[in-house]
Structure 1
């Protein structure tokens, strides 16, 4: 039974570390795209929404996604999906795409806004840190509780 109190928090910690890793990776891609100064004309091919949450008594969150396509300077075509874009961009609209020439697959159609990117990344990393700290605290509490319970057994 006490294994349960170590395995579940360990899995949550692993998931939070993976989420932090993916968040930092995407932040690096977007910053590299903006820093490169290379742009291309892109087209919005499709928009859709992704809904998360259970409804009923729990909140529901909807994120607007766009699918963009652009051609690099060397003539290669790329297509990417980006969440959280502006609601004013609809299918068929022409947008400016920012990309790093050595990694065009990490392109973004978001306008450069380093403060917003840093704030979003920081908030998500802080949330991950809170979950990790809670899990570690829970495991320490469980270890202490089970150690004391074992010492009280005759």
Structure 2
């Protein structure tokens, strides 16, 4: 039973740590694409939504766009991006920013480094609070088990 109070928080810490890594990686990819100076005209091939949640939680809808563009070397690249503008529809032409050696990590989002930093920072702060809560829970659980066993007076 005692292991349950350590395993679950450790699993949650692992999941949150991976989410933090993915957040930082995507922020670096977007920032690198904006800073590379390479742009191309891309066509929106598809716009679609995905939903999650329901039943006892609120439903969350995420907008996706699939873009296709040609790099300066002539390579055709197709990528899917979430969170784009709702006004972009299939067939629209947009400007994408990309890095020459990783064009599949392009972005159609307009450069907004402050907004990117604020959003990433808020997410990382939230993840930090979750990790701190899990560690605090394990410390309190450990103390309670020590008291129950008579180790601590």
- Match status 1:6 vs 2:6: yes
Report the Cα offset of residue 116 of structure 1.
Answer: 1.1
| Alpha-carbon distance between aligned partners in 2 of 1:150 and 1:58, rounded to the nearest angstrom | 39
Match of 2:134 in 1: 135
TM-score normalized by structure 2?
Answer: 0.96
- Match status 1:124 vs 2:123: yes
TM-score normalized by structure 1?
Answer: 0.95
- Deviation >6 Å, runs of 4+: none
Paired residues in the alignment total 151
Match of 2:73 in 1: 74
Gaps of 5+ in 1: none
Deviation digits for residues 89-129 of structure 1 (CA, Å, limit 9, x no counterpart): 00010000100112111100000011111111111111111
Gaps of 5+ in 2: none
**CA RMSD in angstroms, aligned pairs only:** 1.0
Match of 2:101 in 1: 102
